[in-house]
Amino acid sequence: MTLRLRLADSGEAADLAAFLGRLVHYDRAAAVRLQGGGGALAVFGRPPSFEVLAIRTARLAEPVTLDLTVSAGELLESVDEAAGTAVVPAPVTGPPWAGVLPPRGGWQRIAGLPTADEMRTAVGVAVAEFRARDEALPAASRTRAERDRIGREIWSRTLGGTELPLRAVHAAQSLGFLRPVRAAAGTGTGSSEPGSVALLASGGWLRLSTPYGSVALRRPGGGLGALQVRPV
């Protein structure tokens, strides 16, 4: 039986489509895990190379209960932005990450996170450093392995006084989660709202939360923590 999701409005549908489009850009065979409960839908994805889980929520006009893994591309193709709807595709065999999700509760705010503007600047500086170091490599050393080594060195650096690796911030920016929050009409130009971006921790997990979505990852040496392990 076909399940048609009715999102709260066309804007929610457009934001969902944009998120799915970014995931498919990084991996044409990307899968997403969908969890629906009450008036919200949570969409989990794992873009390659960033080593994080990306989480996007969407408000629903009609409550729905579901928990399954589907093709991100097929879900994207079904989104009707004008109508504010999406058709849930047939389930697929979930990748390993889809069976282990961050905990739903117990999140505590962690101090020391730089501002959103400072994080965007840090990503830009890191990208420039990678390009400069890559261009400086002798031709014989310009291998995938050496480029990966440089990338791991740069993106594993932590932000401020936190455990959050720079790769998580890079992922958030690449997925459109770290863009400036626009002020309401008539209140001036767009700017980052105080408190709109936060670093949270729960058990062995960290989560960078923004108004547009979150990225979650395991803490270094954090153990299993309080995981959600469910059939997929």
Q: How many domains does the chain have?
A: 2
User: Which residue range is the domain that position 22 belongs to?
Assistant: 3-101
Looking at the structure, tell me whether residues 216 and 117 fall in a common domain. yes
Residue 217 and residue 114 share a domain? yes
- In a domain, residue 230? The reply is no
**Are residue 53 and residue 34 in the same domain, yes or no?**
yes
pLDDT tens profile 175-209: 999 988 664 334 333 333 445 899 999 999 999 99
In the DSSP assignment, the letter for residue 3 is: E
- DSSP state string for 111-168: S-PPPHHHHHHHHHHHHHHHHHHHHHS-GGG--HHHHHHHHHHHHTPBPTTSS-BHHH
Say whether both 216 and 115 belong to one domain. Answer: yes
Classify strands 108-110 and 198-202 as parallel, antiparallel or unpaired: antiparallel
Q: Which of 101, 131, 146 represents a domain boundary (last residue)? A: 101
Neighbours of 4 (CB within 10 A): 13
Whether residues 28 and 56 share a domain: the answer is yes
Residue 232 within a domain: no
Average pLDDT over residues 14-43: 95
Residues 28 and 79 in one domain: yes
pLDDT digits (tens, 9 = 90+) for 119-152: 999 999 999 999 999 999 999 998 999 999 999 9
Asked if 46 contacts 53 with a C-beta cutoff of 8 angstroms, the reply is yes
Last residue within a domain, chosen from 69, 84, 101: 101
Domain boundary among 83, 101, 119: 101
Assess if residue 203 is contained within a domain: yes
118 lies in some domain: yes
Same domain, 208 and 132: yes
The percent of residues above 90 in pLDDT, for the chain, comes to 79
Domain CATH number, residue 13: 3.10.150
Per the domain annotation, does 197 fall within a domain?
yes
pTM, two decimals, is: 0.86
Answer yes or no: do 125 and 48 share one domain. Answer: no
> pLDDT band for position 161 (50/70/90)?
confident
